[in-house]
Chains A and B, each alone.
Chain A
Amino acid sequence: MRVAVVQTQWVDDHEDGLRNAYQAIEDVCGAGDIDLVCFPEFLLGPPWYMPGQDGLKGRTDTPIPGPIVDGFQSLARKLSTHILLGSLVEDLQDGMYRNTSLLIGRQGVITGRAVKAHAFGNEMVVCRQSDSLGVLSTEFGQIGIAVCSDFWIPEVVRLLALAGARTIFVPGGTLEQNQPLMVNALRTAAYLNDVNIVYASSVGVVRGKRGDRLVEIHFAGTSLVAGPQGVITQAGSDEPETLVVDLDEPAHGDGRRWQQLRRPAAYRALLTPYAGADRDLAAELRASLTGGGPDRGRPAGATSAHEGTRP
């Protein structure tokens, strides 16, 4: 499978983001046969529910099906390639949303979908989460999709690997402060589970105010493709970029050996919550969004007038 990983730049106008995505597909497919083009989470730019992005509400929200998806379907058909729309803010038309990744096949048909199952931040309040984690059957075999923060739950990649996925796509976004550990964590997940990981990230900055605080969140790219042996290719951290890599299913490695030693009946503790979880984070976020209470955040330093990834 020849995979192109598009590292997008977040722009102020999502129409520009859309044009850039089209252009990236045209460019990379024009340069050679590409089986699948993978985009990051929020390929059109930041969602309206990110801190300071209220003005985007109604602009980046995307009905599925709808004209934006139609455009990508046409492009997939024209170029005979799969397109993994990292994620869109799916407008459910009832006041709620989903963070949805779509797989479009060569004939322009939606052949798969993954909805983020582990909501981050305000998604806990405004988004519905997936109730299943499944693999998709494709001409490349079984694949998995872990939408962004789903990756940070090790159970997710494990489940997808045990269900037969040999390549797992992670449309995400690297927070600048997490960059080195993110790269190694992706590599580790590939090794422990004996899978390929295809990770797409964006670059850019989200700025805005939430309450009286200035919000600044920096995204640091570092899209990559990793196999059980290690990182195969990796993008830089601060520019749009497209990676192209030929990817075979991984040979039988250590991860498969570990899996054969599993004792599933002993793992029931995985079905219980973390012992230290003692706060209702969704309630805190809801209060913050509605102005019904302070954004508690971390107790130490929570009164800072500036939040984000840089001091």
Chain B
Amino acid sequence: MTIFVAQHARRATPEATADAILDDLDSRVTDEASFVVLPENAFTTGDAGPALHRPLRERCLDRLTALARTRGTYVLTGSWAEERPGGGLMQVARLLDPRGSECARVERPVLPDGTTGTGDDFPVVETPFGHVGVLLGPDFWLVEPPRIECLTGAELLLVAGSLDGTQQAAQRAAVWGIATLNTVAVAFAGSLNERCGGGSAVAAPEGFLAEAGTDEGVIEAPWDVARIRHLREPDLRFQQTLWFGLWARRTELYTDLTAQVS
């Protein structure tokens, strides 16, 4: 079983970007795929762009659905902005199952500066390959949402993300760090443009399994949920200790995390 993560530079038009990504996925993703992950703002030309127009949106979704069906894989579609009836834009990411059906969706508001907001739902989906959490945009960089998904049982986090911080070397390393601190695997997809520095990667608690750096393409890494389950099993003999961060919590001490702190 394999995880595939797409990382591509944006072209002059959303259509060109979409064709480049989807063609690349069609040629690279094998029948071994268990998950395919695309980034936040997958097909737009910039971060603050308008909603993806409907025909292109539908064409992209059709091709990703076909990819899920033909390869028998889960596909995190990445996200794109959609207009809502009351006005306003929402970034929308969908997780498609191997039948092509939507099994999870994350929607986050597009903020006035064009960036993506955070949310209050953190879905975890049971799949034949393990429990997977779905994250979109900056939720991944907050401590709390990835943590909540792992506490709920997520063994792999699929992230439609963006490496758009000002401290990008530290941010890139944090993909692995978040995997370590939560004893979870992370499949992080980011795109390439003037503001987004790639950084797509598949990380396990012990290290990166694959990294794209700033190269364009589709990276792949093996996926074995048994390894995560092994690391989460308590070992009182000091041989494995990463389980501690999930098991030894004292929830009564954390109430301030749910209160608004100035």
Question: A residues near B, CB below 8 A?
Answer: 51, 117-121, 129, 131-133, 149, 152-155, 158-159, 162-163, 175, 177-178, 180-181, 184-185, 187-193, 213, 215, 217, 228-230, 253-254, 257-259, 261-277, 279, 281, 284-285, 288, 295-299, 302, 307-309
Contact = CB atoms under 8 A, between A and B. Distances in A.
Contacts of B143: 154-155, 158, 192-193
B177 A185 contact: yes
Contacts of B251: 270-273
Interface string B246-262: 11111111111111110
Contact of B170 (A228, A259, A279): A228
B254 A184 contact: no
Contacts of B258: 264-265, 267-268, 270-271
B248 A149 contact: yes
Interface string B223-262: 0000000001111111111101111111111111111110
Interface stretch (B7-15, B21-29, B144-152): B144-152
Contacts of A265: 120, 258, 260
Contacts of A279: 234
A309 B238 contact: yes
Nearest to B260: A264
Contacts, number: 221
Interface in B141-168: 141-144, 147-148, 150-153, 165-167
A188 B178 contact: yes
A262 B143 CA distance: 9
Contacts of B177: 184-185, 187-189, 191-192
Nearest to B205: A181
Nearest to B244: A152
Contact of A264 (B166, B170, B257): B257
B261 A191 contact: no
Contact of B247 (A175, A192, A274, A285): A274
Nearest to A158: B143
A159 B207 CA distance: 26
Given A159-B254, A258-B142, A188 B236 contact: no
Interface of B: 117-122, 138, 141-144, 147-148, 150-153, 165-167, 169-171, 173-174, 176-178, 180-182, 205-207, 232-242, 244-261
A288 to B, nearest CB: 7
B141 to A, nearest CB: 5
Contacts of B206: 180-181
A270 B254 contact: yes
Given A155-B249, A162-B256, A276-B246, A192 B167 contact: no
A266 B117 CA distance: 14
B238 A185 contact: no
Given A184-B180, A308-B239, A153 B248 contact: yes
Contact of A162 (B117, B138, B171, B261): B261
Nearest to A279: B234
A173 B2 CA distance: 35
13 contacts: A154-B143, A184-B176, A184-B177, A185-B181, A191-B177, A215-B238, A230-B167, A230-B173, A254-B167, A268-B258, A274-B247, A298-B239, A307-B237
B28 to A, nearest CB: 29
B237 to A, nearest CB: 4
B106 to A, nearest CB: 13
A15 to B, nearest CB: 26
B250 A267 contact: no
Given A253-B167, A268-B258, A308-B237, 14 more contacts: A133-B253, A177-B239, A188-B178, A189-B177, A191-B170, A229-B169, A261-B118, A264-B260, A266-B120, A273-B151, A275-B151, A284-B236, A297-B235, A298-B237
Contact of A267 (B117, B144, B152, B182): B144
A263 B119 contact: yes
B250 A261 contact: no
B241 A258 contact: no
Chain A CB within 10 A, most for which of B178, B238, B250, B261: B238
Nearest to A217: B238
A119 B117 CA distance: 37
A188 B77 CA distance: 27
Contact of B249 (A153, A162, A258, A261): A153
A205 to B, nearest CB: 12
A185 to B, nearest CB: 5
Contacts of B118: 261-263
A173 to B, nearest CB: 11
A224 B32 CA distance: 41
B165 to A, nearest CB: 4
A285 B261 CA distance: 38
Chain A CB within 10 A, most for which of B121, B122, B165: B165
Nearest to B153: A275
A118 B246 contact: no
A217 B238 CA distance: 7
B244 A264 contact: no
Contacts of B255: 271
Given A162-B261, A178-B241, A264-B260, A258 B141 contact: yes
Nearest to A159: B256
B234 A298 contact: yes
